[in-house]
């Protein structure tokens, strides 16, 4: 049976969608241990745009390739030896195989059953379509920063979809949060997302405000997606032995830190990239993270924002929309 898929024909750093096209493919019946899925929705993440540009480390170089790490669909067929999945069941994946050129931006896909995650009734398609990249990262950030109940976690770029989920999840675990924004008008929105305090880095002294909030002690850790000069301010805002966990580079590929803070206050700067972190957990640890993530989504401990939804035929507009600031949530592509 023929179906439509977004294919990368050539990589383009300056105009990512220009190297793509909507192409016809033919479905493949599942083999042993495989499941065929009719895709419903796919998310447009920065990692997907990096895939179109050819700069994402996990994206294979063999073209044509179908991008998309996040999405949700319905099982249509199961192969021999598959247990726990049946036609009609909603599923997401950890992740869809964009790194193999067989991602979520297509109407059908056949995938190993061990990569699938069942979607409970309490989780909508719009939320399940965002299961992997952001929610699993939130779980990883909280586990790596290991802030105790009642402790303080600084969250930068607090207006992002991921950061708001992190604020909400931290609150559900009894962690106090200090959200860092660049525009004061974001404050009410961020407080509503679950932040205990909001600091505007462009108009306030971040270090002084954090020390004031924490009674002069400093925060336990910072989850930072900005890097750049802000990283030094974050380090100076932490208590002795505090951790700055950098998981993004919104302000460039380098960062500054205080050598005095590292030497005499035991401040640690560390990077977080989800794939190596998950690999280090082993199969049982990975399964536990997926369960914890889905349970949190089902319970409403974190809820991804949903932005505009585009039909598959308008996927290029979806990619362009995803690059806009203040877009209101994750952009999705409706596949079927």
- Full-model pTM: 0.92
Q: What is the domain partition of the chain in residue ranges? A: 2-130+304-334, 134-275
Average pLDDT estimate for 88-103:
95
Place of tokens 């991804």: 304
Quick one: average pLDDT of 203-211?
Answer: 97
Residue among 120, 140, 149, 94 nearest 287 (CA)? 94
> What confidence tens digit (pLDDT) does each residue in 106-145 have?
999 999 999 999 999 999 999 999 999 999 999 999 999 9
- The per-residue pLDDT for 329 is 86
Question: Under a CB-based contact definition with an 8 Å cutoff, are residues 35 and 84 in contact?
Answer: no
Distance of CA 274 to the CA centre of its chain: 9
The dihedral through the CA atoms of 105, 101, 253, 226 has a sign that is positive
- Cα–Cα distance for residue pair 247/226, rounded to 1 Å: 8
Any idea which architecture 134-275 has in CATH?
3-Layer(aba) Sandwich (3.40)
pLDDT in tens, 234-258: 999 999 999 999 999 888 788 999 9
* Whole-number Å distance between alpha carbons of 86 and 94: 18
66: confidence class by pLDDT, cuts 50, 70, 90:
very high
Given pLDDT bands bounded at 50, 70 and 90, which one contains residue 208?
very high
Give start and end residues of each alpha helix (H) in the chain.
46-53, 125-128, 137-145, 161-172, 187-192, 206-213, 230-236, 259-265, 274-279, 282-299, 315-322
Q: What is the mean pLDDT of the chain?
A: 95
> Is CATH 3.40.640.10 correct for 2-130+304-334?
no
Instruction: Give the per-residue pLDDT at 61.
Output: 66
Does 12 have pLDDT greater than 90? Answer: no
Q: 130: which 2 tokens? A: 């965002």
Rounded to a whole number, what is the distance in angstroms from the first to the last CA of the chain?
14
Return d(Cα 159, Cα 150) in angstroms, integer.
23
Q: Does residue 26 surpass a pLDDT of 70?
A: yes
């Amino acid at each position: 049976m023929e179906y439509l898929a977004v294919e990368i024909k050539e990589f383009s750093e300056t105009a990512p969608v220009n190297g793509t096209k909507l192409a016809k493919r033919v479905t493949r019946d599942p083999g042993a241990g495989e499941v065929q899925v009719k895709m419903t929705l796919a998310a447009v993440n920065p990692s997907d745009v990096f895939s179109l540009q050819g700069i994402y480390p996990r994206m294979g170089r063999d073209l044509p390739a179908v991008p998309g790490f996040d999405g949700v669909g319905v099982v249509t067929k199961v192969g021999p030896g598959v247990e726990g999945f049946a036609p009609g069941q909603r599923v997401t994946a950890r992740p869809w195989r964009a790194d193999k050129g067989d991602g979520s931006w297509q109407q059908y896909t056949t995938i190993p059953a061990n990569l699938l995650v069942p979607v409970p009734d309490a989780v909508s398609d719009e939320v399940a379509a965002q299961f992997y990249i952001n929610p699993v990262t939130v779980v990883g950030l909280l586990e790596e920063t290991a802030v105790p109940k009642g402790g303080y976690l600084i969250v930068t770029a607090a207006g992002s979809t991921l950061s708001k989920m992190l604020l909400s999840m931290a609150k559900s675990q009894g962690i106090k949060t200090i959200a860092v924004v660049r525009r004061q008008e974001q404050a009410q929105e961020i407080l509503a997302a679950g932040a205990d305090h909001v600091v505007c880095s462009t108009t306030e002294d971040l270090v002084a405000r954090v020390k004031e909030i924490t009674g002069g002690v400093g925060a336990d850790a910072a989850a930072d997606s900005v890097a750049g000069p802000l990283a030094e301010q974050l380090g100076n805002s932490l208590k002795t032995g505090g951790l700055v966990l950098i998981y993004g580079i919104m302000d460039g590929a380098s960062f500054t830190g205080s050598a005095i803070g590292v030497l005499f206050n035991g401040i640690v700067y560390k990077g977080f990239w989800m794939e190596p972190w998950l690999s280090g957990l082993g199969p049982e640890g990975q399964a536990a993270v997926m369960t914890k993530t889905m349970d949190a989504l089902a319970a409403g401990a974190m809820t991804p924002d949903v932005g505009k939804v585009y039909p598959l035929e308008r996927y290029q507009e979806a990619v362009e929309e995803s690059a806009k600031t203040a877009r209101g949530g994750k952009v999705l592509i409706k596949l079927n």
